[in-house]
Amino acid sequence: MTAISASRWLDQIHALPLHDSVRIMNVCGGHERSITMAGLRSALPEAIELIPGPGCPVCICPEEDVFEAIQLALNEDITLVAFGDMLRVPVNVPKRDARSLEQARALGADIRPIASPVEAARIAREHPERAVVFFAAGFETTTAPVAAMLVEGVPDNLFVLLSGRLTWPAVAMLLDSGKPGFDALIAPGHVSTVMGPEEWQFVVDRHHIPAAIAGFTPESLLAAMYSTLRQLQEERRFLDNCYPELVRPGGNPAARRQLATALDVTDANWRGIGVIPDSGYAINTVYQAHDARRAFPGYADDARKRAGEMPPGCDCAKVVLGKIYPNECRLYGLACTPRQPVGPCMVSDEGACRIWWANGVRENVWTGRDKAAGDES
C-alpha cells in the first residue's frame, strides 16, 4: 500500500468541516519535538490546537530525588551516573549550595553522564572497588532497560536510585479531574511499543475521547490527528494505531515481563503536581540489594524551603499538564533559557520549553519581549 504523504494528510484535514475548535493533546516529548520542528501547528487549520502534555520524564522527576542524588554524590564515596539531561535539573537550595548534579560535579563529586544502563554496569565492572550509583529517571521506555539490567544480573557494587514513572496515570488524572483541557489524545509511540496499545484503551472506554497512537514522522502524527478528528465528527470513538510498524498488541512481552519481575508499581510523586496513584516504579524485595535507597543513608531534608516544588515563578507543572503553553510562563526566555534554566522544562530535549526555544519561539506572551534567535543568555 502506498504511504500517504504529509501534504496529503494536511489536505484531508483541511477538507474536514471543522465548525468548533478542537484541542488535541500529545503525551510524548518526541512527538512535541517533531510537531514543532515540522511547523505542524502553523500548517493546520486555525480551529485545531495542539497541546503538549506530560511527556517529559526529566520535567516531572521529583525535586526530592534530584536533591537526594546530589547529596549522595557529595557525601558518599561513590561514583554517580545519570542520563545526561538529569545533570542540569535544578533543585531548591540556598545559592551557596550545589543546585544541580552539574554543580556538584564542579565541586569535586564523581558524577558521570551516561546514555544507557549498559554503561552503568560497565563502569561498575571497571571499578569493582568503588560503589556506583545509577540515578535512573524515566518513563516505561527507559525504565524497562533498567529492569532488564537487574534481572540479567549486575555487579555487587552497582546500586540504582530509581525514579521511574508510568505515563498513562498522569493522563488518567487529567481525565478524572473533569477538566482535562483536551478533546482528543495522541498517545505515545515509544511507550506503546513497550507496554502495548491496550494501555490507552481507557481513554476511549471510560472517557469517550478519541485516541490514536502515533510515530514520530509528520506523516504518522498527521494520520493520528486526522483519525481523532474523524472520530469526533462521526461521533464514534476508538483507539487507532497509526504506528503499526512498531506498536503491536501486547507490546514487548519480554520488556513487560522484566518490569514485572524486578519492579513494583507504587503511588509516586510528580514534581509540582503531587502524588499520582500507581504511577511509579520501585525496586522490589528480590533485587533490594541493589536499591540505593536501602544501601545508603537518606538525605531527605523536608525543612528545605520549597522542597519538592518548582522554583519560584516557574510554571513547568502547568506546561506539563497542558494548562499553558511554554511561552505563557512568566520566566520563559527571560530568567529561564537553555543556557541558564530555572525550571526542568527548559533543561531536557523532551521538555516543551526547551523544544519551543530550540525552534525559534522567543516571545514571552506576558511581556511581549522577543529575544533574538541567536541569544540564549
Alpha-carbon distance of 163 to 161, in angstroms, equals 7
The mean pLDDT of the chain is 95
pLDDT at 102: 97
All structural domains of the chain: 21-57+169-241 (3.40.50.11750), 61-166+251-295 (3.40.50.11740), 310-358 (no CATH)
Q: Please provide the size of the chain in residues.
A: 377
pLDDT at 302: 76
pTM score, two decimals? 0.94
- Grid look-up 533498567 returns 146
pLDDT tens string 25-62: 999 999 999 999 999 999 999 999 999 999 999 999 99
Instruction: Report the candidate in 276, 272, 259, 267 with the shortest Cα–Cα distance to residue 194.
Output: 259
- For residue 369, pLDDT over 70 is answered with no
pLDDT tens string 259-292: 999 999 999 999 999 999 999 999 999 999 999 9
pLDDT at 373: 45
* Burial class of residue 376 in the structure, from the number of CB atoms within 10 Å of its CB (0-12 exposed, 13-18 middle, 19+ buried): middle
Rounded to an integer, the average pLDDT of 300-317 is: 89
- For residue 196, pLDDT over 80 is answered with yes
β-bridge pairing 131-138 and 184-187:
unpaired
The CA radius of gyration of the chain, in Å to the nearest whole number, is 21
pLDDT tens string 150-177: 999 999 999 999 999 999 999 999 999 9
pLDDT at 231: 97
pLDDT at 166: 98
